[in-house]
Amino acid sequence: MQRTTWLWLLVGLVGYCLVPWYMTEGGFWRFGWLSGIAADADTGAGIWLAFLHGRLYLGAPLPVLAGVAAALLLLADPLRRARAIVALSAAGLGLVMLQGFAVGMNGPRFLTGLFGALGGAEGQAGFGAGATLTLFSLLFMLTTSLSAAGRSTGDAFVTGLIGLIVALVALFVFFPVSTVLVNAFRAPQGGLSLGHFLSEFFSADLWGLSCLTFTDQCGPAINSVLLATMTGATTTLLGLAFALIFTRTNFRAKKLLRLLTVIPIITPPFVIGLALILLFGRTGTVTAIVSYLFDVPKTRWIYGFGGVYLAQVLSFTPIAFLVLIGVVEGISPSMEEASQTLDADAWQTFRRVSFPLMRPGLANAFLLGFIESLADFGNPLVLGGGNYNVLSTEIYFSIVGTIADPSRTAVLSIALLSLTLGAFLLQRRWVGKKSYATVTGKADSGRHAALSRGVKIAAYATALPWAAFTAVVYSMIAFGSVVKLWGYDNTFTLAHYIRAFGIKHTAHGWRFKGVAWDSYFTTLQIATIAAPLTALVGLGTAYLLVRQRFWGKEAFEFSTMLSFAIPGTVIGVSYILAFNFPPIELTGTSIILIIVFVFRNMPVGVRGGIAAMSQLDKSLDEASITLGANSFTTVRRVIRPLMGPAILAALTYSFVRAITSVSAVIFLVSAKHNMATSFIVGRVENGEFGIAIAYSAVLIFTMLAAIVLLQLLVGKRTLRRTDRVAGAP
């Protein structure tokens, strides 16, 4: 423990004395700051800024670091030493964060007198490398000493991991969301006001019901709720039909059905909207045929509720399918057999036994569809068409529109957040646990009851046309990208691909001439960095939740899951509101994109990790620990090798999500760091569908390739193990 503390103390000293405290203009890795480290007000290290430059408020780390060194050298009793370091580093952390938030860009924001006197009048920039190193050092000295001071069984690695994840979640989930809250309460004349918030929140503008009487448009909140209810109900119904066919009939093309569950994961969210436009838009194929055959005028009906609804049902049915397969399979066949031995026929068995057992699962699927629909941004953006707005798009337009109105943005965000959170809490309390327990039931031999004729016909009649429709929609993506101008000039062309991804040979070698390359490479790069970090944070959290006991664990678990229910749009807005100013100024960097992916996709890693780790006997860890390994070695040598599939799933999922997600990203991209999805949305807004679809197709293939590659990598590993099994004497 002493060695670890010394190490972190050293890191802190380097961060405080040798590395620029603030974000540097020229970028950290050029090392231009080296020359000005002692005195320059922009690139100086903390200690020199504090004591040579009169910014006394940066002085706190000096006594803290010195105090820790003294404690390490002078205190012999390990318990007293640990307690002293805990107190010192906690105070240091608090003081550094306090000054960061107190002294803004233009001087002190609160405690004005105090920080003015300490030299804070001129204001300061955001935390940079030096501040970050110092903060990490203080944090890990705190956790390391906590592990030595308390009566807990966790060692320094465990407490460090807890400290790190708690700090990160607080900083990148709670802090931004609470910034949104604060902004929502901010009155136009300054100050915080509940009255202002309430009047904004409950305005007819938001919750208007005129569409119910067909007089006018409803408010976006009502639009969102109606849409989400319809989408949730329809996807549940379709999902159930698919699940029944999949598990209870001997339908031939089950593999194809399985495929249906994978496709949407690798489909960027607006792609289905685009395909629908190609089919049903004013120049769409179906529109043209219908108008030719029946001589009806071409309309723009697809732009509005109908289109968005259709697109969402297409997008989210697979989620319901996935949930309901588990539910339908989880019903113990013996119950159905019991019913049949009591002389109930197939329909009675379904209605009186199977269906009631499925009810919690159905509610679960409905709520998931409801949440997904509320959070969906891509489809309403492409198909909303200006006069049909839901909350997520309204939020976007309130911030990128001509008059940016942060207070309205915040109020809209809170409306959306309270809807998704409400549904999420309902799902957790009401059905979440129940449906989980049925899936993990004991293996049960016996056969599922066959469907009665009526149910079977209904299932086929619902599911098969829909499957065909899905196939058509997806094939549109392939066609749309190789046609000159859809509906007007249907000649075959590769021009869209060439414009987007052209490569040219010049005197200086190969040049990436296509307009899409920049955002494509940025996307790959950021997804590649974000994926392992997401897996790390997600599985690390899962490890803590499954394997460690610590104070406040329930709240910790709940808060990591909570971020699942925060819509991407809200996250995007909250990041803009929170990280546009010191002390944490990240907008416009690629770091903020990486961070947003990590914390948005983390809950899936957590869930996968929990499921995988619960299957590993806890005594494996304990055996390793009693054999003298610390928890880090245990994780590295025992847990990680046994978690291969979960790690792969987390990696794949977060990589793919980083490529396809648009809602949070669209707020955070910059000219320098543009992402594929926001590039495509830009093309769509300009009406350049060809190039948008071509790009989407390339993305889909990129993701397929990535998935296959990752599968192969892990596949090899398992092979090697079987080799050894075969070779044993």
Partner 1 sequence: MNESTRGSVVFREVVKKYGQVTALKCLNLSIEPGRLVTLLGPSGCGKTTTLRLIAGLEAATSGAILIGGEDVTHLSATYRKVSMVFQSYALFPHMSVLENVAYGLTVKNMPRREAHEKAEAGLELVGLKGFGARLPSELSGGQQQRVAVARAIVLEPEVLLLDEPLSNLDAKLRRHVREEIRQIQQDLGLTAVYVTHDQEEAMAVSDRIIVMKNAEIAQEGSPRDLYERPGSAFIADFIGDANLVDCEVLAAGEGESEIALAGARLTLPTGAPGTGAAKLVLRPHQIRLSREKIAGGFEGVVSYGAYLGNQTQYTIDSALGELFVVTGETGQPIATGSNVWIGFEPGEARLVSA
Using the minimum distance from each CB to partner 1, give the nearer residue, 465 or 645: 645
8 A C-beta contact, residue 390 and residue 217: no
> 3-state secondary structure string, 488-502?
CEEEECCHHHHHHHC
Residue 720, interface with partner 1 (CB under 8 A)?
no
CB of 156 to partner 1, least distance (A): 9
Using the minimum distance from each CB to partner 1, give the nearer residue, 151 or 255: 151
Rule CB under 8 A: which of 4-23 touch partner 1?
none
Using the minimum distance from each CB to partner 1, give the nearer residue, 345 or 617: 617
Beta bridge pairs of residue 448 = none
CB of 155 to partner 1, least distance (A): 5
How many residues are given for the chain? 729
As a whole number of angstroms, the distance between CA 271 and CA 660 comes to: 10
Using the minimum distance from each CB to partner 1, give the nearer residue, 188 or 628: 628
The number of beta carbons lying within 10 Å of the beta carbon of residue 626 is: 9
CB of 104 to partner 1, least distance (A): 43
How many Å separate Cα 226 from the centre of its chain?
25
Contacts 24+ apart (CB under 8 A), 195-203: 196/407, 197/411, 200/407, 200/408, 200/411, 201/411, 201/414, 201/415
> 3-state secondary structure string, 271-303?
HHHHHHHHHHCCCCHHHHHHHHHHCCCCCCCCC
CB of 167 to partner 1, least distance (A): 23
CB of 652 to partner 1, least distance (A): 22
For 191, the token pair is 């100050």
As a whole number of angstroms, the distance between CA 576 and CA 179 comes to: 10
Using the minimum distance from each CB to partner 1, give the nearer residue, 295 or 723: 723
Residue 418 CA: distances (Å) to CA of 171, 174, 329, 679, 721? 21, 15, 33, 30, 49
Q: Which residue from 3, 505, 716, 724 is in contact with partner 1, where contact means CB under 8 A?
A: 724
As a whole number of angstroms, the distance between CA 40 and CA 53 comes to: 8
Q: How many helices (H) and strands (E) does the chain have?
A: 35, 6
Rule CB under 8 A: which of 611-650 touch partner 1?
617, 619-620, 622-631, 633, 637-638, 641-642
Using the minimum distance from each CB to partner 1, give the nearer residue, 447 or 720: 720
Using the minimum distance from each CB to partner 1, give the nearer residue, 152 or 285: 152
Count interface residues toward partner 1 (CB under 8 A). 33
CB of 553 to partner 1, least distance (A): 12
CB of 716 to partner 1, least distance (A): 15
DSSP class per residue in 419-441? HHHHHHHHIIIIIIHHHHHHHTP
Query: Could you give phi then psi for residue 614, rounded to 5 degrees?
Result: -65, -20
Residue 555, interface with partner 1 (CB under 8 A)?
no
CB of 151 to partner 1, least distance (A): 5
CB of 144 to partner 1, least distance (A): 12
Q: Let me know the angle formed at the C-alpha of 379 by 373 and 381, rounded to the nearest 5 degrees.
A: 115
Residue 79, interface with partner 1 (CB under 8 A)?
yes
Using the minimum distance from each CB to partner 1, give the nearer residue, 157 or 486: 157
Using the minimum distance from each CB to partner 1, give the nearer residue, 418 or 615: 615
Rule CB under 8 A: which of 687-716 touch partner 1?
none
Residue 583: cis peptide before it, omega within 30 degrees of 0: yes
For 533, the token pair is 């970090």
CB of 728 to partner 1, least distance (A): 5
Using the minimum distance from each CB to partner 1, give the nearer residue, 592 or 613: 613
For 551, the token pair is 């104070």
> CA-CA-CA-CA torsion for 280, 281, 285, 290, nearest 10 degrees?
60
Using the minimum distance from each CB to partner 1, give the nearer residue, 149 or 566: 149
Q: Which residue from 73, 194, 712, 725 is in contact with partner 1, where contact means CB under 8 A?
A: 725
As a whole number of angstroms, the distance between CA 608 and CA 442 comes to: 20
8 A C-beta contact, residue 305 and residue 510: no
Stretch that binds partner 1, among 243-251, 317-325, 338-346, 719-727 (CB under 8 A): 719-727
CB of 622 to partner 1, least distance (A): 5
CB of 616 to partner 1, least distance (A): 9
Stretch that binds partner 1, among 36-44, 86-94, 129-137, 721-729 (CB under 8 A): 721-729
CB of 718 to partner 1, least distance (A): 10
Q: Pick the closest to residue 530 from 438, 600, 614 (CA basis).
A: 600
Q: Pick the closest to residue 120 from 171, 54, 22 (CA basis).
A: 54
Using the minimum distance from each CB to partner 1, give the nearer residue, 152 or 340: 152
For 93, the token pair is 């952390």
Using the minimum distance from each CB to partner 1, give the nearer residue, 217 or 630: 630
As a whole number of angstroms, the distance between CA 698 and CA 696 comes to: 5
Using the minimum distance from each CB to partner 1, give the nearer residue, 531 or 643: 643
For residues 132 to 171, the per-residue mask of contacts with partner 1, x marking binding by CB under 8 A and - elsewhere, is ---------------xx--xxxxx----------------
CB of 722 to partner 1, least distance (A): 10
355-375 and 305-330 are packed helices; what angle lies between their axes, rounded to 10 degrees?
A: 140
Interface residues with partner 1 (CB under 8 A) are 78-79, 147-148, 151-155, 617, 619-620, 622-631, 633, 637-638, 641-642, 721, 724-725, 727-729
